[in-house]
């Protein structure tokens, strides 16, 4: 499985794009592992950083419930 961000030619993961970030979050609000998302290591780190920033600012809920 190819990395989604490499395939779409996205260099930086934006924390403001909550629709995209929510694709990589489980139902309980956890960030999915690399084995589940299929991302490369670089983009998995960027994704985790973006999700944490979005949660801190309040754009993403820490949990889904």
Give the pLDDT confidence score for residue 65 in this predicted structure.
65
36-59 pLDDT tens trace: 999 999 999 999 999 999 999 999
Distances in Å between the Cα of 62 and the Cα atoms of 4, 11, 30, 40 are 23, 25, 8, 24
**Can you give the pTM of this predicted structure?**
0.90
The percentage of residues in the chain with a pLDDT greater than 70, rounded to a whole number, is: 95
- Per-residue pLDDT for 6 more than 70? yes
Architecture of domain 4-57: Irregular (4.10)
Give the pLDDT confidence score for residue 32 in this predicted structure.
96
Nearest alpha-carbon partner for 42 in 22, 12, 20, 19: 12
The domain segmentation of the chain, as residue ranges, is 4-57
For the segment 10-20, the average pLDDT, to the nearest whole number, is 95
């Amino acid at each position: 499985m190819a990395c989604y961000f490499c395939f779409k030619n996205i260099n930086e993961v934006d924390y403001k794009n909550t629709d995209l970030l929510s694709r990589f979050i489980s139902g309980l609000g956890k960030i999915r592992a690399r084995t589940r998302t299929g991302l490369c290591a670089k983009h998995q780190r960027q994704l985790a950083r973006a999700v944490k920033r979005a949660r801190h600012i309040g754009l993403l809920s820490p949990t889904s419930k």
